[in-house]
């Protein structure tokens, strides 16, 4: 099993990055990650104003996946997420949904014991997830703290253990990377941080040749969701709904009005995160109503 060390990180997704490893389809790969603050926080006495924000959200990689080409779909099966026993959360004025409130910057170290995270006496069951995961865009570069059609900092709480992610491929080998693990995160990530934690992720790659989704797609349990970014929640919700309606039209050979009505009955719109410059929405449908192949162009 190949292991990608946490020292091999990037701060943007770009076709110009040289891959740190080449992996085969069907091969298990472990990505070691540091927390989203880049390991800069040693204890609760770490001054927030001394954090170098140019070093946040590192992603481990990228790796070149053999036999994956532009126009394909990279299939990422998430087998396991292991998180370290210590996570970090911060609240900073000016950031998050209530960033205009008056409060002092705060940083907390949260301990994880026996599968439970402890927050001031409140016990929260762990639900490990991958905050940042994606591939290189076809040109230029996108910061790992941003999100888009390539994936990136989607902060979708459903991208966890045993989920399968479908990413559109824009460059040879995909140039896949991941990071920004969260031990726990609520939908929205309202204070701009979750339980930021280092750890490791084991994945296996597969491919669907010649077709790709418009936006990343994730399957988890009995659900399938399209992960969409927009300048506003409204624009992201419209785009996510449009993609699912188009998928329903393909699946059932319906016209637009019929598919639109069916979507109103079976589609759930959820917030992934609402605190970054681009907002993240997921459009969820039970897999009995929609399959991934209906979402591929």
Rounded distance between C-alpha atoms, residue 59 and residue 79, angstroms: 18
| CB within 8 Å of 136: residues ≥ 6 apart | 13, 14, 15, 17, 62, 150, 170, 171, 174, 175
CATH no. for 2-211: 2.60.120.580
Provide the CATH number for the domain formed by 219-295 in this structure.
3.10.28.20
- Running DSSP on this structure, what letter comes out for residue 296? B
The sign of the torsion formed by the CA atoms of 188, 45, 7, 126 equals negative
Residue 114 is encoded by which pair of tokens? 């026996």
Residue 217, both tokens = 């797609």
Distance CA 86, CA 191 (A): 19
Express as a percent the part of the chain with pLDDT over 90: 96
What's the rounded mean pLDDT across residues 131-138?
99
Question: Where along the chain do the CATH 3.10.28.20 domains lie?
Answer: 219-295
Residue 49 has a pLDDT of: 82
Write the pLDDT tens digit of every residue in 184-241. 999 999 999 999 999 999 999 999 999 999 999 999 999 999 999 999 999 999 999 9
pLDDT greater than 90 at residue 116: yes
pLDDT of residue 124: 98
Chain centroid, CA 190 distance in Å: 16
Mean pLDDT of 39-57: 88
Listed in order, the ranges of the chain carrying CATH 2.60.120.580 are 2-211
DSSP string, 111-137: EEETTEEEETTEEEE---EEEEEE---
What pLDDT was estimated at residue 245? 99
Q: Parallel, antiparallel, or unpaired: how do β-strands 21-23 and 59-65 relate?
A: parallel
Average pLDDT value for the chain: 97
- pLDDT beyond 90 at 52: no
pLDDT for 293 equals 98
Residue 88 and residue 110: Cα distance in Å, rounded?
6
């Amino acid at each position: 099993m190949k292991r990608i060390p946490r020292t091999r990180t990037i701060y943007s997704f770009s076709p110009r990055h040289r891959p740190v490893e080449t992996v085969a389809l069907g091969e298990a790969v472990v990505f070691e990650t540091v927390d989203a603050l880049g390991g800069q926080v040693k204890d609760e006495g770490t001054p927030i104003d001394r954090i170098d924000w140019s070093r946040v959200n590192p992603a481990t990689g990228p790796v070149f996946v053999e036999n994956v080409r532009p126009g394909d779909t990279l299939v990422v099966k998430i087998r396991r997420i292991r998180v370290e026993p210590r996570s970090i959360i911060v609240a900073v004025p000016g950031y998050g949904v209530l960033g205009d409130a008056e409060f002092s910057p705060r940083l907390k170290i949260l301990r994880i014991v026996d599968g439970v995270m402890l927050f001031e006496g409140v016990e929260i069951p762990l639900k490990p997830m991958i905050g940042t995961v994606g591939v290189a865009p076809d040109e230029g570069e996108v910061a790992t703290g941003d999100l888009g059609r390539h994936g990136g900092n989607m902060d979708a709480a459903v991208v966890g253990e045993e989920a399968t992610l479908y990413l559109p491929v824009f460059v040879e080998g995909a140039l896949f990377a991941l990071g920004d693990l969260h031990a726990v995160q609520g939908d929205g990530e309202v204070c701009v941080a979750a339980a930021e934690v280092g750890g490791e992720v084991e994945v296996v790659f597969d491919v669907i040749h010649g077709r790709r989704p418009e936006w990343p797609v994730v399957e988890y349990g009995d659900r399938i969701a399209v992960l969409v970014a927009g300048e506003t929640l409204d624009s992201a919700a419209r785009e996510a709904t449009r993609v699912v309606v188009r998928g329903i039209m393909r699946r059932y050979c319906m016209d637009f009005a019929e598919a639109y009505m069916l979507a109103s009955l079976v589609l759930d719109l959820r917030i992934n995160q609402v605190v970054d410059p681009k907002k993240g929405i997921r459009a969820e449908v039970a897999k009995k109503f929609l399959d991934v192949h209906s979402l591929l162009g």
